């Protein structure tokens, strides 16, 4: 017996027609929305935009998921990998009623449909992609590749949720997408939900064939089953046959998902089940025009965007469009008022079960604040600056350990890290939490369990994608990674920032936890791994993002890191970039001082200065842990050798405070800025990141030419930590020389001291050069206070 | 009969012992290199660095490839995906003699071995990875994921070359690696060489198990065969058995490769063959210490780096090290002088067949200059600025069409583009060249052929990785992509820049063709695709790279693009970033003027200025096509409405000219800079990229506070081109307002005109807001000269 009885089948077909009709209307029409009169050129938009090719397939799936939800009363969210099929998803969210509830001006009547059409891809309207304003979406799909990782992140610790992830066959070629199939190896049916991937093959990209679109089913079967899935094919172009096939397959997949979950929840997790995945082959531009101007359209790359162009001027094209639109029988699916007929409207789920209204896709709605321990409990005792050396990130690891414990019931926190949790000195989390794996685990493995919430996979894309999905569905987390390799997924950071920037404009989108990125194993201390591991580029990427959402913190020590982290975990809707190394480092501030410092963002460190309340001759500023070490050492050396020189040390922990306040909300007001940096004295600025980035930040401040920045200059190799700062001209001696050169008041005193610094640097170079013949103790030249 | 006779087997085992011995020595020893006396603490390096876990496997493979090369006199290069196994590769390049030829101080004797040990991972020595100084390497392997794409790029149009690509099992988890298996779908046995992937599974990453390491063979078999390979497993830990198995498998794979090639070269390409791939399972840290301090080491994550630590202080650890090193019987493999015994030295190939000496891995050695047509032949006739509108990139497409033709015999040029060749208006190449695919091709496909050299795959990672491999083996190409999505692979740009920066320091590495990246479909003209498609971030990434290798060009029109492209195709060892949109745009310069302009990098455009030879009141500067349009329009508007204001228009085509000359070799000398930008007049700078990046560039110039930059401010959506410049404050009216505000000489004349500009902007906003109700013609507001 077929899965769909004749009535249901014909209604689903009509529902699909309705959505396809609305999709075409969005692309083409500015008037006569229900074709109540013959189509005329003036009804057509002057500029035709949108992507038809993928849309009907996306719409077909949506129609069927509605049925699945209704039949099973189940939580489903829909992620459209080919986000350019925006009009299809908007059509459905409109048909199910969600859209009009959120945007009342797009009402469920003829005038509303007209507005729906007109707003699409128009100035002042809505974007062409499944974007932030689309209710039910947590995935834009403009930059292809992340639909699976977002979907898997969404279902982690969401036991009842099913995330249906449609993978476009263009998207299937991207590296991040190919790298995300293996996510099932981290999904536990006992306490996670399920992802149902639907690989939607329609054969073409913009103009070329797709790789998988040309593979035989048996190859695809091997490939996807090799990833661990049970593969179901649904292929064809006859709608009625396809409805039955797809409905049947969907029921099978759903039953399997529930069976695996039920089994694991009843009997405990035994082994990873072969989760279902669907391969859906339909023609590109399915149900669209077959032939235009003698060229085949449906089933070819020509239906990728607007399948029939020049409709205003070309009468035969206009006729093709009208026939095409009338083939969906608008008069049968909408009533006189332009409302979806009630027997069709019944096909949509109700309330929050509608995919456009599902609260998981508006994560802030279901977000529960983290129960955070008092970060002061992990503080290092610092009675005097620079007397203790600690691995600062280890303290954060301890704090996160207790975060895991305190939020164990809520299960809303995970740590994502490419196999570097221990390496990054966050390993204390393993006292209470495990690495996650649902693959085979053997005796010698260290803290690996199918229940683990420490997500280690050697893929920055996957770590970040999972975390984004986890956050967008209302949970919390941290992505910790080697600084240089954060660049691997920096385009994801860019896209997530764009998402947040749009989301905060929409009152109905509730705030979600920030994307927290911790960069450790930084350029200055990857002396052992070499040049490929040395790159602070993510700072530049985040600097270019909007002040409404972008934050960069450079804590100089453990207590500052704790204070900053606490703030970041509590914050909402930001991208927080935190940069600090993992190696043992001198500690500067007591926790009380650290809190004050972090609240201010910038502080003058009197204990390291000798200018007292007076205007200094020179300001030594620093941002970042190693720059702070070198700056403090330089100030100490200057105080010792040139006490006449009044030096002030200023530490910057919140980089955005340097921006003018009109550019970033954290920007210090000018008088506070001057309080620290003076009005006109030279500032020698030691910076963690690329040297010249500071100039981009401080533009707009007075007399910026007096800022002399030292920072990473893309000089590196396998060497010693001290050689790294020498190579990049940021060593204490470089800072001293620069300070003495710039501080004109004591000019006559400095030549011999500058020479002395240069001698010290020459000795260093000799030491490095001599190294081949006689390797001395290779270690940091540590500053200790005299 | 076993593949290896007993003598050969035992010698290969000894050869492997020799390389393993040298690997351990590099990690540990600073003296007593051949253990001619008992090991004492002072023989041990003070800082132990290096990665043992992967090294013996890499070394095992190298030993066997030596045999394959000798038996078949074949061109093989070796790409070590786990580049942290640097000491293993260095050992082999040393044993085969290449190393001492390039670095004579590392001679083939005891003193040379000592130097070999001491230089490793030491200041002034060599990096810990398979880095640029390693002869035979075209792949650093620090940032994991690119070994397959580099290998496939290397064999394209290299019919006799076999690139053996070792994929580490950590690396196998990265997205770029997973996305690169499908490269065989673009390899034609008739005229390309072959890649032999060896997936080296040893079970662990730094501390966690690997995904594939825990998969069953049958899953891996399905996965890799699903990608199209024939899979061969070699698994075990007994060296003698493994030697036989691996030798046999290697012979089988080689025979298959040659069979497929011979068939295609004799009978023409019929269909893609099932290229062989090897899965090699060996213990991590194979042949290393079994147990240290009661914990298992070999076969576990504990052997990832230095398997036995604290050797100086801990006598039992010292003993473990000594026993471990003596297990390789150095006295049997090296003679009294520390030279590899001659019967073992015979196992290495000779001359250029040695993998360390293979000229393909030093691409500049085999590089043949492109036969370039005269770019002036593709120039647009521009008799008067701003009278013609053309799609500028189309002219480059025509030029590349003829480049394909002129270099058809040499077969050393390819175009790489993620399915956007047509979309980016480069489609004229299809008049003579096809898209490449060795998959099924059907009738409706457009210019697809197994012989094609236009490489379209929807993966920026793959496009860029292939191109890098192609360049590093001495060929030429261009990567053309949507501007925003260049960020997807920007970490690859960073790593390639690092490679070049090191390579130019080594005289033995011959110059290779530059990495040319063309960004089209830019932020300003992705008005139709929306915010996700709007991001000029790659400029910021390239700005932070060294002046020795980084170049950024912003041609304002077609003729400038042609001149710049010609330069870039002729250049060597650079990363050239070229940014220009694809939409029809006004043309400014005749080809002669364009050549002059591009040679200078910056020009004052007198025809757009009204200051003549006089000092202007204000400079309107611009870099990028849309900024140029807005600036010219602003200058025109000002001349029309405020002729008293003396305006100078300056166009910047080579962004690096703005850097101070001490920072970048293209930096204009100060007097030329002042010639264009004056000493103290306000400069209103319209910039293609992120607004504030210009401040990073111009720091060091005099009075930089007078530069008022407008640029991309991360404001975007689906809208009109003109609305994009309005949203980002870079419209002609914004530029006029800023100019009038800054140009104090005519202050009394400007208030009403500023008001007028504000009115025009208000009208624009009203127009955008009104759009929902009444969509007017949506099109660019084109400036036409009065």
pLDDT tens digit string along A192-239? 999 999 999 999 999 999 999 999 999 999 999 999 999 999 999 999
Q: Where does the pLDDT of residue A769 fall: very low under 50, low under 70, confident under 90, or very high at 90 and above?
A: low
Which residue among A171, A458, A772 sits closest to B144, beta carbon to beta carbon? A458
Low-confidence winner among A4-18, A257-271, B315-329, B721-735 (lowest mean pLDDT):
B721-735
pLDDT in tens, B211-228: 999 999 999 999 999 999
A80 DSSP assignment: E
Q: How far apart are CA A489 and CA A17, in angstroms?
A: 39
Q: With a cut of 60, say whether residue A151 has pLDDT above it.
A: yes
Contact A491 B488 (CB under 8 A): yes
Q: Considering only CB atoms, which chain B residues are within 8 Å of A771?
A: 118, 122-125
Q: Considering only CB atoms, which chain B residues are within 8 Å of A304?
A: none
Q: How far apart are CA B169 and CA A617, in angstroms?
A: 56
> With the C-alpha atoms ordered B758, B759, B764, B769, is the resulting torsion angle positive or negative?
positive
Q: What is the mean pLDDT of residues B547-559?
A: 97
Q: With a cut of 80, say whether residue A778 has pLDDT above it.
A: no
> From the CA of A504, how many Å to the nearest CA of chain B?
14
Q: With a cut of 90, say whether residue A62 has pLDDT above it.
A: yes
Q: What is the mean pLDDT of residues B576-604?
A: 97
Q: What is the helix (H) or strand (E) element at residue A65, kind and residue range? A: helix A55-72
Q: What is the mean pLDDT of residues B682-688?
A: 98
Q: Where does the pLDDT of residue B151 fall: very low under 50, low under 70, confident under 90, or very high at 90 and above?
A: very high
In A631-732, which ranges are E strands? Answer: 647-652, 683-690, 707-712
Q: Considering only CB atoms, which chain A residues are within 8 Å of B501?
A: 714
Q: How far apart are CA B373 and CA B692, in angstroms?
A: 38
Nearest chain B residue to A701, by CA: B705
pLDDT value, residue A163: 98
ipTM of predicted complex:
0.97
Q: Considering only CB atoms, which chain B residues are within 8 Å of A655?
A: none
> From the CA of B150, how many Å to the nearest CA of chain A?
14
pLDDT in tens, A68-86: 999 999 999 999 999 999 9
pLDDT value, residue A718: 87
Q: With a cut of 60, say whether residue B340 has pLDDT above it.
A: yes
Which residue among B175, B537, B718 sits closest to A121, beta carbon to beta carbon? B718
pLDDT value, residue A18: 98
Q: What is the mean pLDDT of residues B418-438?
A: 96
Name the region of B593 (left: φ>0; alpha: ψ -120 to 50; beta: rest): alpha
CA dihedral B540, B691, B392, A491 (to 10 degrees): 40
Beta-sheet strand order (sheet of B194-201): B75-80, B161-168, B194-201, B276-281, B230-235
pLDDT in tens, A179-196: 999 999 999 999 999 999
pLDDT value, residue A744: 83
Q: Phi and psi dihedrals of A441, rounded to 5?
A: -120, 135
Instruction: Identify any residues that bridge with A701 across adjacent strands, giving them in sequence order.
Output: A699
pLDDT value, residue B747: 82
Q: How far apart are CA B680 and CA B677, in angstroms?
A: 8
pLDDT in tens, A466-516: 999 999 999 999 999 999 999 999 999 999 999 999 999 999 999 999 999
Contact B772 A115 (CB under 8 A): yes
> From the CA of A559, how many Å to the nearest CA of chain B?
28
pLDDT in tens, A681-692: 999 999 999 999
pLDDT value, residue B744: 83
* Residue B2 CA: distances (Å) to CA of B16, B246, B248: 19, 11, 8
Residue A750: CA count within 13 A, CB half-sphere: 18
pLDDT in tens, A631-646: 999 999 999 999 999 9
Nearest chain A residue to B529, by CA: A128
> From the CA of B147, how many Å to the nearest CA of chain A?
13
Quick one: what percent of chain B has pLDDT higher than 70?
97
Beta carbons within 10 angstroms of residue A373's beta carbon: 17
pLDDT value, residue A700: 93
Q: How far apart are CA A541 and CA A515, in angstroms?
A: 15
> From the CA of B342, how many Å to the nearest CA of chain A?
28
DSSP string, B266-304: HH---S----EEEEEE--TTTTS-SEETTEE-TTSGGGS
> With the C-alpha atoms ordered B172, B174, B180, B182, is the resulting torsion angle positive or negative?
positive
Q: Considering only CB atoms, which chain A residues are within 8 Å of B485?
A: 143, 491
Mean pLDDT of chain B: 95
pLDDT value, residue A770: 56
pLDDT in tens, B39-66: 999 999 988 999 999 999 999 999 999 9
Q: What angle do CA B770, B775, B777 make, to 5 degrees?
A: 120
pLDDT in tens, B490-544: 999 999 999 999 999 999 999 999 999 999 999 999 988 889 999 999 999 999 9
User: Which tokens belong to B190?
Assistant: 């008739």
Q: Phi and psi dihedrals of B607, rounded to 5?
A: -65, -20
SS3 B151: helix
Contact A488 B301 (CB under 8 A): no
User: Which tokens belong to A733?
Assistant: 């001696």
Q: Where does the pLDDT of residue B763 fall: very low under 50, low under 70, confident under 90, or very high at 90 and above?
A: confident
User: Which tokens belong to B279?
Assistant: 């899965």
Q: How many CB pairs under 8 A join A and B?
A: 405
Q: Where does the pLDDT of residue B769 fall: very low under 50, low under 70, confident under 90, or very high at 90 and above?
A: low
Q: Considering only CB atoms, which chain A residues are within 8 Å of B714?
A: 498, 501, 544-546
pLDDT value, residue A400: 98
User: Which tokens belong to A165?
Assistant: 């992830």
Q: What is the mean pLDDT of residues A253-278?
A: 98
Q: What is the helix (H) or strand (E) element at residue B517, kind and residue range? A: strand B515-520
Burial B474-486 (b: 16+ CB within 10 A, else e): bbbbbbbbbbbbb
Q: What is the mean pLDDT of residues A449-465?
A: 98
pLDDT value, residue B472: 98
Beta carbons within 10 angstroms of residue A293's beta carbon: 12
> From the CA of A71, how many Å to the nearest CA of chain B?
35
Q: Are B469 and B165 in contact (CB under 8 A)?
A: no
Nearest chain A residue to B457, by CA: A173
Contact B129 A714 (CB under 8 A): no
pLDDT value, residue A762: 86
SS3 B75: strand
pLDDT in tens, A721-746: 888 999 999 999 999 999 999 998 88
Q: What is the C-alpha R_g of chain A?
A: 30
DSSP string, B355-401: TTT-GGGSGGGT--------GGGG----SSTTS-EEEHHHHHHHHHH
Nearest chain B residue to A184, by CA: B211
C-alpha B587, offset from chain centre: 32
Nearest chain B residue to A457, by CA: B173
Q: Considering only CB atoms, which chain A residues are within 8 Å of B769?
A: 124
pLDDT value, residue A786: 27
Contact A540 B540 (CB under 8 A): yes
Burial B358-381 (b: 16+ CB within 10 A, else e): bbbbbbbbbbeebebbebeebbbe
pLDDT in tens, B267-302: 999 999 999 999 999 999 999 999 999 999 999 999
DSSP string, A492-526: HHHHHHHHHHHHTT-TTS---B-EEEEEES-GGG-
Task: Please enumerate in sequence order all residues whose Cβ is within 8 A of that of B475, keeping only pairs 6 or more positions apart, or say none.
Answer: B156, B157, B363, B367, B412, B413, B414, B513
Instruction: Identify any residues that bridge with A413 across adjacent strands, giving them in sequence order.
Output: A476
Interface with B, mutate which of A718, A765, A773, A780 (most B CBs under 10 A): A718
Contact A127 B528 (CB under 8 A): no
pLDDT value, residue B770: 55
pTM: 0.97
Quick one: what percent of chain A has pLDDT higher than 90?
91
Three-state SS for A145-184 is CCHHHHHHHHHCCCCCEEEEEEEECCHHHCHHHHCCHHHH
Contact B530 A296 (CB under 8 A): no
Q: Considering only CB atoms, which chain A residues are within 8 Å of B535?
A: 494, 498
Q: How far apart are CA B522 and CA B527, in angstroms?
A: 9
Q: How far apart are CA A502 and CA A142, in angstroms?
A: 14
Q: Report the candidate in B544, B529, B515, B415 with the shortest Cα–Cα distance to residue B483.
A: B529
Q: Where does the pLDDT of residue B767 fall: very low under 50, low under 70, confident under 90, or very high at 90 and above?
A: low
Q: How far apart are CA A734 and CA A758, in angstroms?
A: 8
> With the C-alpha atoms ordered A239, A242, A248, A249, is the resulting torsion angle positive or negative?
negative
Contact B498 A119 (CB under 8 A): no
Beta carbons within 10 angstroms of residue B442's beta carbon: 10
Contact A173 B142 (CB under 8 A): no
Q: How far apart are CA A115 and CA B209, in angstroms?
A: 54
Contact B692 A697 (CB under 8 A): yes
Beta carbons within 10 angstroms of residue A114's beta carbon: 21
Which residue among A125, A175, A227 sits closest to B462, beta carbon to beta carbon? A175
Q: Considering only CB atoms, which chain B residues are within 8 Å of A463?
A: none
Q: Which domains does chain B have, with CATH numbers?
A: 6-352 (3.40.50.970), 375-586 (3.40.50.970), 602-770 (3.40.50.920)
Task: Please enumerate in sequence order all residues whose Cβ is within 8 A of that of A14, keeping only pairs 6 or more positions apart, or say none.
Answer: A329, A332, A333, A344
Q: Are A60 and A310 in contact (CB under 8 A)?
A: no
């Amino acid at each position: 017996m077929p899965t769909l009885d004749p009535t249901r089948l014909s209604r689903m077909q009509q529902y699909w027609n309705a959505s396809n009709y609305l999709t075409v209307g969005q692309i083409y029409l500015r008037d006569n929305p229900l074709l109540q009169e013959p189509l005329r050129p003036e009804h057509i938009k002057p500029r035709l935009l949108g992507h038809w090719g993928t849309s009907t397939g996306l719409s077909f799936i949506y129609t069927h998921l509605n049925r699945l939800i209704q039949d099973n009363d189940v939580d489903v969210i829909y992620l459209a990998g080919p986000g350019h099929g925006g009009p299809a998803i908007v059509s459905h969210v409109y048909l199910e009623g969600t859209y009009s509830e959120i945007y009342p001006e797009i009402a469920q009547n003829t005038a509303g449909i007209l507005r729906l059409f007109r707003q699409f891809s128009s100035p002042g309207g809505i974007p062409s992609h499944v974007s932030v304003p689309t209710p039910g979406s947590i995935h834009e799909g403009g930059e292809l590749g992340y639909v699976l990782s977002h979907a898997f992140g969404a279902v982690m610790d969401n036991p009842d949720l099913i995330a249906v992830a449609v993978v476009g066959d263009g998207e299937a070629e991207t590296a991040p997408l190919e790298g995300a199939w293996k996510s099932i190896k981290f999904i536990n049916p006992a306490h996670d939900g399920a992802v149902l991937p639907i690989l939607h093959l329609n054969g073409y990209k913009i103009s070329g064939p797709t790789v998988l679109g040309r593979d035989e089913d048996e190859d695809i079967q091997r490939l996807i089953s090799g990833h661990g899935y049970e593969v179901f094919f649904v292929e064809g172009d006859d709608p009625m046959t396809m409805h039955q096939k797809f409905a049947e397959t969907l029921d099978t997949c759903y039953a399997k998902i529930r069976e695996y979950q039920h089994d694991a929840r009843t009997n405990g997790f035994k082994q990873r089940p072969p989760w279902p995945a669907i391969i859906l082959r339909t023609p590109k531009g399915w149900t669209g025009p077959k032939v235009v101007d003698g060229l085949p359209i449906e089933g070819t790359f020509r239906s990728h965007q607007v399948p029939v162009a020049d409709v205003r001027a070309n009468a035969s094209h206009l006729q093709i469009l009208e026939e095409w639109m009338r083939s969906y029988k608008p008069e049968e699916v909408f009533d006189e008022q332009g409302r979806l007929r009630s027997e069709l409207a019944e096909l949509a789920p109700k309330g929050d079960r509608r995919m456009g209204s599902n609260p998981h896709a508006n994560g802030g709605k279901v977000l529960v604040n983290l129960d955070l321990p008092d970060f002061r409990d992990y503080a290092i005792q610092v009675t005097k600056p620079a007397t203790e050396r600690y691995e600062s990130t280890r303290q954060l690891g301890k704090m996160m350990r207790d975060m895991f414990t305190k939020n164990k019931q809520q299960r809303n926190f995970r740590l994502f890290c490419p196999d570097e949790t221990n390496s990054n000195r966050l390993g204390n989390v393993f006292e209470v939490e495990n690495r996650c794996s649902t693959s085979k685990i053997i005796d010698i493995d260290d803290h690996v369990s199918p229940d683990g919430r420490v997500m280690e996979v050697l893929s920055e894309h996957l770590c970040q994608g999972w975390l984004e999905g986890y956050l967008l569905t209302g949970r919390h987390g941290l992505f910790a990674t080697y600084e240089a390799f954060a660049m691997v997924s920096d385009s994801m950071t860019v896209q997530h920032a764009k998402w947040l920037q749009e989301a905060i404009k929409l009152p109905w989108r509730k705030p979600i936890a920030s994307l927290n990125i911790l960069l450790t194993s930084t350029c200055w201390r990857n002396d052992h791994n070499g040049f490929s591991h040395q790159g602070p580029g993510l700072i530049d990427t985040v600097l270019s993002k909007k002040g409404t959402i972008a934050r960069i913190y450079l804590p100089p020590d453990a207590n500052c890191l704790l204070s900053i982290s606490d703030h970041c975990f509590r914050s909402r809707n930001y991208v927080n970039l935190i940069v600090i190394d993992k190696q043992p480092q001198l500690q500067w501030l007591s926790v009380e001082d650290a809190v004050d410092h972090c609240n201010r963002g910038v502080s003058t460190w009197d204990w390291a200065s000798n200018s007292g309340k007076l205007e200094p001759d020179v300001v030594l500023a620093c941002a970042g842990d190693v720059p702070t070490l070198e700056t403090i050492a330089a100030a100490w050396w200057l105080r010792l050798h040139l006490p006449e020189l009044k030096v002030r040390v200023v530490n910057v922990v919140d980089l955005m405070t340097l921006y003018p306040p009109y550019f970033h909300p954290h920007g210090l007001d000018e008088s506070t800025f001057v309080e620290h940096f003076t009005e006109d004295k030279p500032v020698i600025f030691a910076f963690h990141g690329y040297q010249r980035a500071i100039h981009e930040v401080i533009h707009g401040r007075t007399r910026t030419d007096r800022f002399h920045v030292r920072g990473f200059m893309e000089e590196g190799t396998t060497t010693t930590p001290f050689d790294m700062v020498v190579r990049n001209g940021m060593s204490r001696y470089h800072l001293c020389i620069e300070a003495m050169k710039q501080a004109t008041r004591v000019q006559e005193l400095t030549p011999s001291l500058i020479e002395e610094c240069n001698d010290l640097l020459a000795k260093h170079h000799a030491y490095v050069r001599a190294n081949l013949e006689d390797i001395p103790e290779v270690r940091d030249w540590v500053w200790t206070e005299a």
